[in-house]
């Protein structure tokens, strides 16, 4: 009997040890929280002598209308007791935008020290998508604002996470009309879904053509090219021209400043995410329309779709194989090392090429992407893949306050300051390109030549397929484009497969609702593209 | 004479083989080391020795603001000290738990066939599922329990998914321990529990060590669940490594540097426990 | 030993593990099973408990999904290849390193180092090394086969891309096999070995007839555990090839990941996972029954 008691005790001890072990873990987790809370909150340094008493603070002087209205809105919320001092709002974002968001928070703190803003920083973009969609399911209130890619807008809205912002736009006027508005059509197509506003523009991400000016302007090469091809060596107007120039330089077997070989061109064709960009660019310029506006049938297995593949396959011999196998960053790396003559990417490529350590820092040129001649007219369109926008969570306790922070952070004056503090968020307001008060700063950050080119690119830019299922539509397109470029599939078969896959995605969500979203989105495409669609009968 | 010659030949062969394998292991390791000391321009090259040796990649782990403006760098992330500590706490505690529970379960399974042939197999289930689908249900479950972003949630999750390693590895070891030892001990009046702790445990030590080391390594390097279940407070080392992304893609230098730092603790453990890998007792021995 | 365990042992051997697994995993697992029978994705805007139950449609869809089936067969080939190679390599190494020799502690520490690095880091390293500008082509292969080496683009062709994944896995996980084999082999009683040697048995016979049978249980354990992990391989494919070119190196785990996370088709992903689970259960059960229980 005593023995049984002893074993029971031993057993209980063992059990107790396990429980204690668990308890220790829990205690550590619990204890470490408050300590971290203090560290992590980006509290602001009040550099002005502004007293923190609500209602008594003098109104801000000299700020733009949008910023002033935002601050006044916050004051009002504080005065009415809707928000208490010490409230914290949380922003879920990706590490690359941290410098810029921290700058926004710093400026915010100069005027609104009562409201804290906390950053939840994630490493990779897909993690933001995962966490946002998880929040849509768990509704836990983990964050108030989340920065998302425009591509995800449809998914995020349909999942019920994004709060509709029309009432705030009307009430506070973020200056989306007038000389300082975000350049259209971008301002509309990244914020409007099924006719309503769901996001705030934080960034623009339109592609431009980057090229090695020293090679294009070299007189010897100009003569040789003219002799060989019968036309001028200059920034190409059409993709066919670009192919010729790429061939010319590839055959010259030049050595880049890095010691590597110079390739004629580098356009995205890689399998993980970016291959669709190049294809879609050419497809849209050729007058292709992704979905039929009456039936939502995919319309990629068309002459325009095949033409896009013709061009891409025409470029292939003069591109490095990494264009087909390596990640998106490899394009940047090769251009910065001077190993590519023509390439296209986001504005960050231009900025990186300008750094002192870049091997093309004085010879990198910017231009509009080549276009396609349709009905005798040159049509240019620039893709706008994965554009950052700010969305307010439907499960946030402070939606209005969160919106006001976004309006403040993207206002004409504050917004430019924020953008110039970092890398991944780029210019989007028209006055930042034209207004003498702002232009010098933009030019300093991006280069004079670039900002003129970029402004034009914005005007001819078109959105990702950002209706619901956007990431899936584009991912399937990417793998098929990559298969063709890798020589595994015939273009015809690939286009067929894309059609079939897109169709099944559409059916998964329901043709009617997808059609509604697509119709809305198609209206927001740039005018040049819509004109071609009308000419071809794709659009009424 | 011939016997001795063969001996020498075999011995030489042995050293050569070991040497070749060590080389095979070391080459990618050398690449990690070289990346950790290379600046951006040298991350995508073919040579090992950096032409412009730099400590920047390590500095950036602790002060990422110092890195801004250098090619490729844009991201500001928190210093690596917290994730290191988090990883240490979470991994150690969950390893101990998994090994202990594994040991008890393995003993019962080996000697008495608890919890039955199907029950034991069931524990393997935890390793059979591709984690991707499991992530959303876990998220839903934990968030309802308000357990998101806590050390506790990670500890019990990791224990739960690695305990099966403990069970099966230890069962393998315990299976091979002759029952006679325990029978003898119990004949001499020891309780089953005491026998477990005083007789079986010491003999099974190499099993505990192998299982413990492997569970430690699995947990130390686990990424997916940590990514989804933590935000700010309980961020672990692998999640932190994934944060070093700049305007030109992954920042290979800092990632390599952090991987090196992160491997110091496991390798120290691996080095130290080696004598425990070999047991004083052996399989199949009956008497003496 | 008595057939029935003493009560304390029974509790110790079943309660903790039951509590742990049930508290942590049962409910999410149940949720996952339920999801597989739904037609639901978060982007549909409704809660998962309100979504319509569609029965077996997801499963039927998986059976007809070419991408899924190809990924399955590809992953199986991958698993069998790496586990076999790692097993033989690990066993051979463990055997060779059994006795004492100069620098043994350091040698073993280095041998198991690959396990210390997160798989994502290993994947990144091999990604960089196998690029056309990396050392594999420019240093090693060039020394062996000359300038031709520079024209090999590992990630461009499905076969060579697949090989890079095999190499990464073998590099990282052979030490796992080594560890278990080493620990197991060193527990073989010296007396038995010496007795056999005295009787004139060759090293090979000793290995085959004395050591191997004694460590068989652990071999099985090692094979099963490593097999399960290898089948779930995700990191190498994701980082090194992106599943490419096209989807020719997409493992089944990666396809499920994309389906669940990128396409938010969680129900379908759950269904695929369950099907894989069922298959694996059958295979492993058969494997264990054959080697463990038939022997008895």
Per-residue pLDDT tens for C250-274? 999 999 999 988 898 889 999 999 9
Distance in angstroms (rounded) separating the CA atoms of residues A323 and B250: 17
| pLDDT tens digit sequence for B67-120 | 666 666 666 778 899 999 999 999 999 999 999 999 999 988 888 887 776 777
The reply to whether C238 falls in a domain is: yes
How far is the C-alpha of A460 from the C-alpha of C262, rounded, in Å?
29
Residue B215 contacts residue B166 (beta carbons within 8 Å): yes
Interchain CB distance below 8 Å, B111 and C5: yes
Across residues C76-94, what is the average pLDDT?
Answer: 96
What per-residue string of b and e applies to C119-142 under the rule 16 or more CB within 10 Å gives b?
Answer: bbbbbbbbbbbbbbbbbbbbeeeb
C176 contacts in B (CB within 8 Å)?
214
B90 vs A327: CB contact, 8 Å cut-off? no
pLDDT value for A7: 41
Is residue C89's pLDDT more than 60?
Answer: yes
Residue C125 inside a domain? The answer is yes
Structure confidence by residue, pLDDT tens digits, A450-463: 999 999 999 999 99
Of A191, A285, A298, A197, the closest CA to residue A514 belongs to: A298
Average pLDDT over residues B227-254: 85
Are C105 and B274 in contact (CB < 8 Å)?
yes
Cβ <8 Å between C31 and B21:
no
What CATH number is given for A65-204+386-452 in this structure?
Answer: 3.40.190.10
* Model-level ipTM above the cut of 0.90: no
If DSSP codes are grouped into helix, strand and coil, which group holds residue A179?
coil
CB A221 within 8 A of CB A233: yes
Between A24 and B165, whose confidence is greater? B165
Asked whether residue C199 is domain-assigned, the answer is yes
User: Does A486 contact C132 at a Cβ distance shorter than 8 Å?
Assistant: no
At residue C296, the pLDDT reads 47
The answer to whether the Cβ–Cβ distance between C228 and B127 falls below 8 Å is yes
CB count, 10 Å around CB of A485? 33
Q: Please give the pLDDT value at position A385.
A: 96
Of A136, A325, A479, which has the smallest distance from its Cβ to C155's Cβ? A325
* C52 vs B: CB within 8 A: no
Residue A45: the pLDDT is 30
Q: Which residues of C touch B214 (CB under 8 A)?
A: 115, 176, 179
Closest residue on chain A to B197 (Cα): A10
C200, burial (CB in 10 Å: exposed 0-12, middle 13-18, buried 19+): exposed
Q: Where are the domains of chain B?
A: 2-67, 81-243
> What's the mean pLDDT in B243-257?
84
Nearest Cα of chain A lies from the Cα of C246 at a distance, in angstroms, of: 4
Residues 36-65 of C with CB under 8 A from A: 41-45, 47-48
Q: Do B283 and C189 touch (CB under 8 A)?
A: yes
From first CA to last CA, the distance across chain C in angstroms is 17
Domain span at residue C212 reads: 59-293
Q: Which long-range contacts (CB under 8 A, 24 or more apart) does A302-310 make?
A: A305/A495, A306/A491, A306/A492, A306/A495, A307/A282, A307/A283, A307/A372, A308/A279, A308/A280, A308/A282, A308/A283, A309/A279, A309/A481, A309/A484, A309/A491, A309/A494, A309/A495, A310/A491
- Nearest-CA residue of chain A relative to C14? A15
Residue B183 to residues B180, B196, C177: CA-CA distances in angstroms? 5, 11, 33
Quickly state the pLDDT bin for B143 (edges 50, 70, 90).
confident
Question: Shortest CB distance from C186 goes to which of B114, B213, B278?
Answer: B278
Burial status of residue C161 (CB atoms within 10 A of its CB: 0-12, 13-18, 19 or more): buried
Q: Is the dihedral of CA B135, B140, B145, B146 positive or negative?
A: positive
**Which residue in the set A14, A138, A348 is minimally distant from B139, CB to CB?**
A138
- With both helix axes pointing from N to C terminus, report the angle between A399-409 and A65-79 in degrees, rounded to the nearest 10: 150
Q: Quick one: what percent of chain C has pLDDT higher than 70?
A: 98
How are beta strands A208-212 and A340-345 bridged, if at all?
antiparallel
Residue that is written with structure tokens 């968020």 in the block:
A425
pLDDT for residue B173 is more than 90: no
Instruction: Inform me whether the C-beta atom of residue A449 falls under 8 Å from chain C C-beta atoms.
Output: no
Answer whether residue B22 shows pLDDT above 90. Answer: yes
Q: CB distance C232–B250 less than 8 Å?
A: no
pLDDT value of position C294: 60
Under 8 Å between Cβ of A137 and A129: no
CATH at residue C74:
1.10.3720.10
Higher pLDDT, B80 or A19: B80
Question: What's domain B81-243's architecture?
Answer: Orthogonal Bundle (1.10)
State the count of interchain CB pairs (< 8 A) between B and C: 319
User: Measured between CA atoms, how close is B8 to chain A, in angstroms?
Assistant: 49
For residue range A156-170, what is the model confidence (pLDDT) as tens digits? 999 999 999 999 999
Q: Report chain B residues whose CB lies below 8 A from the CB of A6.
A: 191, 193
Nearest to B217 among C32, C115, C137 (CB): C115
Percent of chain A with pLDDT over 70: 89
Which pTM value belongs to this model? 0.88
| Shortest Cα–Cα distance, C158 to chain B (Å) | 23
What pLDDT is attached to residue C150? 80
Calculate how close chain C gets to B78, using CA atoms only, in Å. Answer: 20
pLDDT at C120 over 80: yes
Average pLDDT for A240-256 = 96
Q: Which of residues 128-187 of A touch B (CB under 8 A)?
A: 130-131, 134, 137-138, 140, 142
Mean pLDDT of the region C77-105 = 92
Instruction: Determine the residue of chain C that is closest to A508 in CA distance.
Output: C39
Parallel, antiparallel, or unpaired for β A116-122 and A88-94? parallel
Domains of chain A, residue spans: 65-204+386-452, 208-385+467-536
3-state secondary structure chain B: CHHHHHHHHHHHHHHHHHHHHHHHHHHHHHHHHHHHCCCHHHCCCCCCCCCCCCCHHHHHHHCHHHHCCCCCCCCCCCCCHHHHHHHHHHHHHHHHHHHHHHHHHHHHHHHHCCCCHHHHHHHHHHHHCCHHHHHHHHHHHHHHCCCCCCHHHHHHHHHHHHHHHHHHHHHHHHHCCCHHHHHHHHHCCCCHHHHHHHHHHHHCHHHHHHHHHHHHHHHHCCCHHHHHHCCCCCCCHHHHHCCCEECCEECHHHHHHHHHHHHHHHHHHHHHCHHHHCCCCCCCCCCC
Evaluated on CA atoms B248, A239, C245, A287, the torsion sign reads positive
Q: Does C279 touch chain B (CB under 8 A)?
A: no
A421 touches chain B (CB under 8 A): no
Contact: A96, B239; criterion CB under 8 Å: no
Chain B positions in Cβ-Cβ contact with residue A124 (cut-off 8 Å): 242-243, 245
What CA–CA distance (Å, rounded) separates A460 from A537? 21
Q: Name the CATH superfamily housing domain A208-385+467-536.
A: Periplasmic binding protein-like II (3.40.190.10)
Nearest-CA distance A336 → chain B (Å): 9
**Percentage, residues of chain A above pLDDT 90:** 80
How confident is residue A43, by pLDDT bands cut at 50, 70 and 90? very low
- Counting Cα atoms < 13 Å in the Cβ hemisphere of A35 gives 8
Rounded mean pLDDT, B180-193: 83
Cβ–Cβ gap C43/A159 under 8 Å: yes
Q: CB contact, 8 Å: A14 with chain C?
A: yes
| CA C85/CA C92 separation, integer angstroms | 11
Per CB-CB distance under 8 Å, the chain B contacts of C260 are: 132-133, 135-136
DSSP assigned state of A97? G
- A contact test, residue of B63, B231, B239, B252 with most A CBs within 10 A: B231
Handedness of CA A464, A469, A471, A476 (dihedral sign): negative
Out of A196-200, A428-432, B129-133, least confident range: B129-133
- Tens of pLDDT, residues A363-380: 999 999 999 999 999 999
Domain count, chain C: 1
CA distance C244 to chain A (A): 6
Q: Stretch A388-415: mean pLDDT, rounded? A: 96
| Span B200-218, pLDDT tens digits | 888 888 889 889 998 999 9
Closest-approach residue (CA) in chain C for A477 = C246
Residue C57 token pair: 């449609």
- Say whether A501 sits in a helix, a strand or coil: helix
d(CA A275, CA A267): 8
Contacts of C111 in chain B (CB under 8 A): 21-22, 25
Which is more confidently placed, A510 or C188?
A: A510
Residues 80-119 of A with CB under 8 A from B: 94-96, 98-99, 102
Question: Whole-angstrom distance between the N-terminal and C-terminal Cα of chain A?
Answer: 93
Is B191 in contact with A40 (Cβ distance < 8 A)? Answer: no
Q: Is pLDDT of A41 > 80?
A: no
Chains sharing 3 or more CB pairs under 8 A with chain A:
B, C
pLDDT of residue B282: 52
Mapping DSSP onto H, E and C, the string for chain C reads: CCCCCCHHHHHHHHHHHHHHHHHHHHHHHHHHHHHHCECCCHHHCCCHHHCCECCCHHHHHHHCCHHHHHHHHHHHHHHHHHHHHHHHHHHHHHHHCCCCCCCHHHHHHHHCHHHHCCHHHHHHHHHHHCCCCCHHHHHHHHHHHHHHHHHCCCCCCHHHHHHHHHHHHHHHHHHHHHHHHHHHHCCCCHHHHHHHHHCCCCHHHHHHHHHHHHHHHHHHHHHHHHHHHHHCCCHHHHHHHCCCCCCCCCCHHHHHHHHHHHCCCHHHHHHHHHHHHHHHHHHHHHHHHHHHHCCC
Distance in angstroms (rounded) separating the CA atoms of residues B176 and B191: 22
Judged by average pLDDT, the poorest of A38-42, A91-95, B277-281 is A38-42
Chains A, C: CB contacts within 8 A come to: 112
* Segment A300-346, tens digit of pLDDT: 999 999 999 999 999 999 999 999 999 899 999 999 999 999 999 99
Residue C132, chain B, CB below 8 Å: the answer is no
Any domain includes C27? no
Average pLDDT of chain B, as a whole number: 85
Give me the residues of B, 89-148, that contact C with CB < 8 A.
97, 100-102, 104-105, 107-109, 111-112, 114-115, 119, 121, 123-138, 140-141
Chains contacting C (3 or more CB pairs within 8 Å): A, B
Model confidence at A40, in pLDDT bands (50, 70, 90)? very low
By the 8 A CB rule, do A41 and A114 touch?
A: no
Of the candidates C11, C43, C248, the beta carbon closest to that of A155 is on C43
Buried-exposed string A85-121: b where 16+ CB fall within 10 A, e elsewhere? eebebbbbbbbbbbbbbbbbbbbbbebbbbbbbbbbb
Rounded to whole angstroms, how far apart are CA atoms A396 and A400?
9
C28 in a domain, yes or no? no
Q: Best mutation site among B172, B173, B202 for testing chain C: the one with the most C CBs within 10 Å? A: B172
Distance from CA of B180 to the nearest CA of A (A): 21
**Cis peptide before B115, with omega less than 30 degrees from 0?**
yes
C-alpha R_g of chain B: 24
Asked whether the beta carbons of A94 and A147 are under 8 A apart, the reply is: yes
Q: Which of A120, A142, A352 sits opposite B71 (nearest CB)?
A: A352
């Amino acid at each position: 009997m005593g023995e049984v008691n002893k074993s029971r005790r031993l057993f209980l001890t063992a059990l107790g040890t396990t429980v204690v072990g668990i308890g220790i873990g829990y205690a550590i987790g619990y204890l470490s929280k408050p300590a971290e809370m203090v560290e992590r909150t980006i509290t602001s340094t009040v550099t002005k002598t502004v007293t923190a008493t609500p209602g008594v603070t003098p109104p801000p002087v000299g700020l733009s209308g949008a910023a002033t209205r935002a601050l006044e809105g916050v004051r009002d919320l504080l005065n009415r007791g809707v928000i208490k001092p010490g409230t914290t709002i949380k922003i879920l974002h990706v590490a690359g935008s941290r410098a810029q968001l921290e700058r926004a928070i710093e400026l915010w703190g100069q005027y609104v020290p009562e409201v804290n803003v906390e950053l939840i920083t994630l490493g990779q973009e897909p993690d933001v998508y995962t966490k946002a969609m998880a929040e849509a399911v768990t509704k836990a209130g983990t964050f108030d604002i989340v920065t998302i890619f425009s591509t995800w807008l449809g998914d995020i809205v349909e999942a019920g996470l994004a709060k509709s912002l029309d009432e705030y736009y009307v009430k506070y006027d973020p200056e989306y009309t007038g000389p300082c508005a975000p350049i259209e059509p971008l301002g509309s197509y990244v914020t409007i879904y099924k006719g309503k506003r769901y996001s705030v523009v934080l960034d623009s991400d339109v592609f431009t053509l980057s090229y090695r000016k020293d090679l294009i302007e070299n007189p010897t090469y100009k003569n040789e090219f003219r002799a060989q091809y019968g036309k001028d060596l200059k920034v190409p107007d059409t993709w066919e021209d670009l192919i010729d120039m790429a061939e010319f330089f590839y055959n010259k077997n030049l050595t880049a400043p890095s010691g590597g070989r110079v390739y004629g061109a580098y356009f995205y064709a890689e399998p993980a995410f970016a291959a669709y960009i190049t294809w879609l660019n050419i497809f849209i310029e050729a007058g292709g329309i992704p979905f039929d506006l009456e039936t939502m049938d995919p319309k990629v297995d068309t002459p325009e779709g095949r033409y896009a593949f013709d061009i891409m396959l025409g470029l292939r011999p003069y591109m490095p194989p990494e264009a087909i196998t390596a990640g998106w960053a490899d394009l940047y790396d090769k251009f910065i090392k001077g190993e590519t003559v023509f390439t296209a990417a986001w504005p960050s490529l231009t900025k990186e090429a300008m750094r002192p350590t870049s091997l093309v820092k004085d010879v990198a040129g910017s231009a509009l992407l080549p276009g396609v001649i349709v009905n005798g007219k040159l049509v240019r369109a620039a893709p706008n893949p994965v554009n950052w926008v700010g969305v307010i969570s439907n499960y946030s306790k402070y939606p209005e306050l969160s919106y006001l922070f976004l309006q403040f952070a993207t206002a004409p004056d504050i917004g430019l300051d924020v953008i110039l503090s970092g890398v991944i968020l780029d210019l989007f307001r028209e006055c930042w390109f034209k207004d003498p008060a702002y232009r010098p700063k933009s030019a300093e950050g991006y280069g004079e030549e670039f900002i003129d080119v970029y402004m034009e690119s914005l005007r001819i830019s078109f959105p990702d397929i950002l209706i619901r299922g956007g990431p899936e539509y584009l991912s399937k397109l990417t793998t098929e484009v990559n298969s063709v470029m890798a020589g595994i599939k015939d273009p015809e078969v690939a286009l067929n497969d894309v059609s079939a896959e897109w169709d099944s995605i559409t059916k998964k969500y329901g043709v009617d609702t997808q059609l509604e979203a697509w119709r809305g989105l198609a209206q927001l495409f740039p005018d040049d593209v819509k004109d071609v669609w009308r000419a071809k009968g794709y659009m009424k | 004479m011939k016997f001795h010659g063969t001996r020498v030949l075999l011995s030489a062969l042995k050293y050569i083989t070991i040497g070749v394998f060590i080389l095979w292991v070391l080459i990618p390791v050398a690449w990690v080391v070289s990346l950790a000391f290379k600046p951006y321009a040298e991350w995508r090259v073919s040579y090992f020795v950096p032409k412009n040796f730099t400590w920047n990649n390590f500095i950036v782990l602790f002060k990422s603001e110092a890195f801004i403006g250098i090619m490729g760098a844009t991201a500001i992330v928190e210093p690596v000290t917290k994730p290191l500590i988090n990883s240490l706490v979470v991994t150690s505690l969950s390893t101990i738990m998994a090994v202990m529970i594994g040991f008890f379960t393995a003993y019962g399974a080996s000697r008495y066939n608890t919890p039955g042939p199907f029950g034991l197999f069931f524990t393997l289930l935890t390793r059979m599922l591709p984690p991707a689908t499991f992530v959303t249900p876990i998220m839903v479950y934990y968030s309802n329990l308000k357990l998101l972003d806590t050390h506790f949630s990670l500890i019990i999750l990791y224990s739960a998914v690695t305990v099966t390693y403990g069970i099966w590895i230890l069962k393998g070891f315990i299976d091979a321990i002759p029952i006679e030892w325990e029978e003898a001990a119990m004949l001499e009046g020891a309780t089953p529990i005491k026998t477990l702790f005083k007789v079986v445990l010491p003999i099974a030590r190499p099993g505990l060590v192998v299982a413990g080391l492997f569970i430690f390594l699995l947990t130390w390097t686990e990424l997916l669940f940590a990514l989804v279940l933590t935000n700010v407070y309980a961020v672990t080392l692998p999640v932190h490594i994934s944060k070093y992304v700049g305007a030109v893609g992954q920042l290979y230098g800092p990632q390599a540097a952090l991987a090196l730092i992160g491997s110091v603790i496991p390798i120290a453990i691996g080095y130290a426990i080696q004598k425990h890998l070999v047991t004083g007792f052996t399989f199949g021995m009956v008497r003496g | 030993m008595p057939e029935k365990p003493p009560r304390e042992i029974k509790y110790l051997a079943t309660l903790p593990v039951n509590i742990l697994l049930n508290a942590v995993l049962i409910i999410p697992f149940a949720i996952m099973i339920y999801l597989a029978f739904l037609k639901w994705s978060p982007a549909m805007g409704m809660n998962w408990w309100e979504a319509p139950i569609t029965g077996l449609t997801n499963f039927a869809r998986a059976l007809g999904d070419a991408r899924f089936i190809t990924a399955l067969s590809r992953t199986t080939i991958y698993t069998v290849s790496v586990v076999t190679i790692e097993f033989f390599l690990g066993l051979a190494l463990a055997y060779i390193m059994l006795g004492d020799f100069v620098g043994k502690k350091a040698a073993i520490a280095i041998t198991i180092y690959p396990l210390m690095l997160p798989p994502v880091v290993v994947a990144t390293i091999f990604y960089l090394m196998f690029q056309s500008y990396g050392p594999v082509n420019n240093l090693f292969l060039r020394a062996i086969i000359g300038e031709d080496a520079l024209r090999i683009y590992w990630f461009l062709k499905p076969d060579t891309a697949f090989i890079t994944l095999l190499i990464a896995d073998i590099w990282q996980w052979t030490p796992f096999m080594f560890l278990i084999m080493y620990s197991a082999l060193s527990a073989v009683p010296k007396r038995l070995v010496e007795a056999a040697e005295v009787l004139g048995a060759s090293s090979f016979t000793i290995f085959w007839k004395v050591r191997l049978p004694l460590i068989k249980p652990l071999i099985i354990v090692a094979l099963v555990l490593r097999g399960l992990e290898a089948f779930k391989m995700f990191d190498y494919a994701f980082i090194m090839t992106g599943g490419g070119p096209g989807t020719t190196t997409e493992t089944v785990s990666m396809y499920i990941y994309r389906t669940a996370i990128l396409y938010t088709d969680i129900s379908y992903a759950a269904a695929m996972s369950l099907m894989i689970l069922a298959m694996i259960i059958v295979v492993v059960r058969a494997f264990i029954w054959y080697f463990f229980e038939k022997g008895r």
